[in-house]
Structure 1
């Protein structure tokens, strides 16, 4: 985390006992060294010089991600709907959201997408990353200016859509099982938790 960023909550409460801790390989880790790591089984993100690693997604997580991307893509109007891509929020801060809606003019051969090309970012909450998705990543995405943030909680069966207002996200709408979440920006689509979330 960036110690010079006054809005970053500097507390170990973000990383509970089930949450993998940031890794250190001779801090600070540069973005060039981070990108040189290449493909790994784990998901490794760059948090201001620290590497944050989580295990490979569970099948449930992957099912939700694929269903969400499939639901968004037909209405994306030439935008790209991508899963698990590197998004540069700022120099030295590269996160890997579960699903992203990006502009049509991205370079599809580059390993990193610039945040200016992202209009919607989605994270799927799981026990190993709940606090990170709800607090840290939400703060980082807001600070980077991404207009919309969709949080999918498959444990509670809920969808939470947040809209950037000023420098913070404000909850725009929610949907539980049996309900529908209506998006009008950046895509117009109806999302139903029952269609996205496998039964338990």
Structure 2
């Protein structure tokens, strides 16, 4: 009797290069086969490709969602992992967003639709989440940015846009983050 065959692995990620850079519309037109196992984002025509999140990341994301949803004010909606468009050359996929346009169906929300963008730091995204995305969200005038570090205990910091930079306004203590803005909530991480 023959041993069962090993399942094929598709670890190779192949998207044809674009010498003039990519546009948001071109990234959004990629087939599921090309992008299904990776998070594909776009910054100034260059693709940022990262692996799918780990189970630790996903469990933390679920905790955030469960904590946020009961506290959401009317006129808002929480969605995980959606495309957010920043013009024609930038497309990011925050771990979760709180939108100020509930019920809108689209493949990519506008940055102006986002009240809060949240990122959970992963080993493959440390610099992007701590610096690049923070700067891009501020440049797009997204009012709030939540950065979550999956440490023991988990550390979360909420930033509010003050003029053109994010300033920390709340930091977790012993795995719990209490928010007063943009609405009251207690997140047990």
CA shift, 1:112, in A, is 0.3
Given the superposition, is the C-alpha separation of residues 38 and 81 from structure 1 closer, same or farther in structure 2, using an over 3 Å criterion?
A: farther
Q: Distance in 1 between matches of 2:185 and 2:16?
A: 41
Partner of 1:88: 85
Alignment check: 8 A CA contact 2:80 2:95 kept: yes
Q: Distance in 1 between matches of 2:112 and 2:59?
A: 28
CA shift, 1:97, in A, is 0.1
1:66 aligns with 2:62: yes
Q: Residues 1-200 of structure 1: matches in 2 within 5 Å?
A: 25-26=17-18, 27-39=20-32, 40-78=36-74, 79-105=76-102, 107-108=104-105, 110-155=106-151, 157-178=154-175, 180-192=176-188, 196=189
SS at match of 2:42: strand
Partner of 1:4: none
Alignment check: 8 A CA contact 1:174 1:181 kept: yes
CA shift, 1:24, in A, is 7.3
Q: Distance in 2 between matches of 1:77 and 1:132?
A: 29
Given the superposition, is the C-alpha separation of residues 49 and 24 from structure 1 closer, same or farther in structure 2, using an over 3 Å criterion?
A: farther
SS at match of 1:146: coil
CA shift, 1:45, in A, is 0.3
Q: What CA deviation, in whole Å up to 9, does each residue of 1:120-156 have, x standing for no partner?
A: 0100011111111111000000000011100000025
TM-score (norm 1): 0.79
SS at match of 2:86: strand
Unaligned runs of at least 5 residues, structure 2 = 1-14
TM-score (norm 2): 0.83
